[in-house]
Amino acid sequence: MLDAAFAAFLQIATDPFAIGLCLIGVVIGTALGALPGISSTMSLAVLLPFSFGMSLEHAMVFLLAVFTASVYGGSVSAILINIPGTPGAIVTQMDGYPMGRKGRAGEALTYALLASTLGGLLGWCLLVIFAPLVAQAALAFQSPEYAAITVFGLAMLAYASPGSTFLALIAGMIGLLLATIGLDTTTDVARFTFGTDGLQAGLGIIPAAVGIFGIAEVLKGLERGAKKLQPVTRIGRLLPPWREAAPLWPLGLRGSVIGAFVGAIPAAGSAIAVTVAYALEKRLSKTPEKFGTGCPEGVVAPESANNAGVGGALIPMITLGIPGDSMTAVLIGALLIHGLRPGPTMFAQHIDFVGIVYVALAFAIVATLVVGMLGNRLFARIVNAPRAVLLSGVTLLCIVGSFAVRNSFFDVIVMTGFGVLGYLMNRIGMPTAPVIFGLVLGPILEENVRRSMIIYNDWTVFLTRPISLTVLIIAIVALAYPLIQDAMRRRPSP
């Protein structure tokens, strides 16, 4: 592993094109993350097609740079206009915007940037240390264990999704059903194609992700229309006083640890990590009444947890082939396009690629710090971009990106259909990320369930093998817990 990482470092560090891609990805990712309504997932989805013509190594350098920078970029709009650019920045706005209104917007941006860097580095350490261990343990898995892990990933997504767990579970089932469209890999029989040639290869993950995360947001933006904002126009100084910043390092470390471990849980997502980190610091603080009024602690805690989740989310993606969050679900689509399926065999068969991921993520974290320090004032102006220009540009990127996957207009139709589906799901309060998770995990679940039945010819194999039984029990508990909690809440007090 060390040899592979060192070789990857030399390969990237001596490649001007790779360095340029990293810097371009950071600039674009920060800018898109700073724009209200353009989430990190959407940023990856609309920029993913630009990586198709690159080598796998260059594609990962570019996409991981966009990934890392867009997560930080969400704090820019949260601080300046009180609208989080990404879901992970929802908590940041609670203290970041009040700091901006006090004339300390520049300091708040710097606190967010430094905390993001600290969190990113700790998440990277967690990825480097634990990913090989998880992959080694996963090599002992057989088909029943893989099927159980897939069910666990879907269950955790349903549990962690905002709103109703039941609606999230239905969304996941929709994704699983859509994943069955196309030719059966075992029998080569067409399923649910209705005589349409374009459906024989199944629904593409990339057009689906672009539609449900991109076009759906465009439709929501058109519905909302222009929103009256009260932007912070006075940035002020960027560097906070040392006597105030120095005591915040332990707080940033705690937030980073929380974000890294929560991010490593399949489908947990950054929203949970930032909420836990913020709540913990408020509980530990000697002056909890300051939280929500514009204190630096309220910016450092969620931002460190937010970016630490990047490295954590890559662990299940690389080692198990299960997305850690919606952003890594899009990254899996990129790997599949480049002919590489993530899983425990990655460390045995593609150790050079794992080294590329390690080094590319480290370069992206450092580049985000440098670009952020130099360009925060510029990014602060981007948040005031006209909504009409923004929505038009995003729509054009979505169309071009979907067509570029296979040079097929049918994929544009698929993207449009998923965009309408995502919009309708948003209208009824149903989360959309489980649909993409279902598309990614559906073939894995079907393949391993069918292989298990062929080999063992007994469905009880999922219950007689200790690992698969344990994982299934955890999944059932995760799904049942909200129902039990709701029943206890409705129970009349004695």
Residue 161 has pLDDT above 70, yes or no: no
CA–CA separation, 466 and 408 (whole Å): 46
Cα-Cα-Cα-Cα torsion 133, 343, 148, 272, nearest 10 degrees, comes to 70
**Is 172 part of any domain?**
yes
Going by the DSSP 8-state scheme, the letter that residue 49 receives in this structure is: G
Question: Quick one: pLDDT band at residue 336, thresholds 50, 70, 90?
Answer: confident
**Is 158 part of any domain?**
yes
Based on the number of CB atoms within 10 Å of its own CB, is 269 exposed (0-12), middle (13-18) or buried (19 or more)? buried
State the Rg of the chain over Cα: 22
Question: Quick one: pLDDT band at residue 233, thresholds 50, 70, 90?
Answer: low
Residues 320 and 138 sit within 8 Å (Cβ to Cβ): yes
CA–CA separation, 363 and 368 (whole Å): 8
**Is 494 part of any domain?**
no
The pLDDT of 200-207, averaged and rounded, is: 78
The closest alpha carbon to 204, from 383, 380, 404, 362, belongs to 404
The pLDDT of 223-252, averaged and rounded, is: 71
The whole domain housing 307 covers 2-488
- What pLDDT score does 23 carry? 92
**Is 493 part of any domain?**
no
The pLDDT of 336-354, averaged and rounded, is: 79
The amino acid present at 244, given as its one-letter code, is E
Please state the pTM of the whole predicted model: 0.70
Least confident span in 79-88, 258-267, 280-289: 79-88
User: Phi/psi of residue 417, each to 5°?
Assistant: -60, -45
CA–CA separation, 97 and 111 (whole Å): 13
pLDDT tens across 20-69, in order?
999 999 998 888 877 765 667 777 877 887 887 788 888 889 999 998 88
- What pLDDT score does 230 carry? 56
**Is 478 part of any domain?**
yes
The pLDDT of 96-107, averaged and rounded, is: 82
The pLDDT of 265-292, averaged and rounded, is: 73
Based on the number of CB atoms within 10 Å of its own CB, is 413 exposed (0-12), middle (13-18) or buried (19 or more)? middle
pLDDT tens across 118-151, in order?
988 988 888 888 888 777 776 667 788 878 877 8
Residue 381 has pLDDT above 80, yes or no: no
**Is 379 part of any domain?**
yes
The pLDDT of 457-477, averaged and rounded, is: 84
- What pLDDT score does 482 carry? 67
Question: Quick one: pLDDT band at residue 458, thresholds 50, 70, 90?
Answer: confident
**Is 378 part of any domain?**
yes
Residue 84 has pLDDT above 80, yes or no: no
The domain tally of the chain equals: 1
Least confident span in 17-26, 190-199, 248-257: 190-199
